[in-house]
Structure 1
Amino acid sequence: MLALSRKKNEALIVNNNIEITVLEIKGEQVKLGISAPKEVPVYRKEVYVQIQEANQEAVSMEGLSALQNLLG
């Protein structure tokens, strides 16, 4: 993991096309702004984990059985 220090209004660039800027710092909370192309998905980690779990459930044997029943 790369750890960087940034102050308010400072940014970093990822892969030449994603810019992450520190917008605000309040106590223990940091507000970030992320500029990325539309085709690059950006999620909070907890949302990303939920999406991954839902995808795993969808391809599980139960999900497969439900799909087979649906398709007849």
Structure 2
Amino acid sequence: MTRPNGDLDFLPEGGGEPHGYNEFMANVDALVIGRKTFEKVLTFDTWPYGDKRVVVLSSRPVDLSAAGK
């Protein structure tokens, strides 16, 4: 989920209450995300999903070459 330009600036940045995110993620075995979100997450310094399985939905092929960084 990103803005049309791929930005995540609508999400609050760092610190503060994670609003149940940690508890939610502790009970999730896998994530389903869109290609644009996947590509945005690849630009982060660290992979935020640990060893959870991530399924990327896309109508086009996904370039996984950057995923192993």
Q: Which has the higher strand share?
A: 1
Q: TM-score range by the shorter chain?
A: under 0.3
Q: Who wins on radius of gyration, i.e. which is larger?
A: 1
TM-score, normalization by structure 2:
0.22
Q: Which has the higher helix share?
A: 1
TM-score, normalization by structure 1:
0.21
Higher relative contact order (Cα pairs below 8 Å, separated by 6+ residues): 2
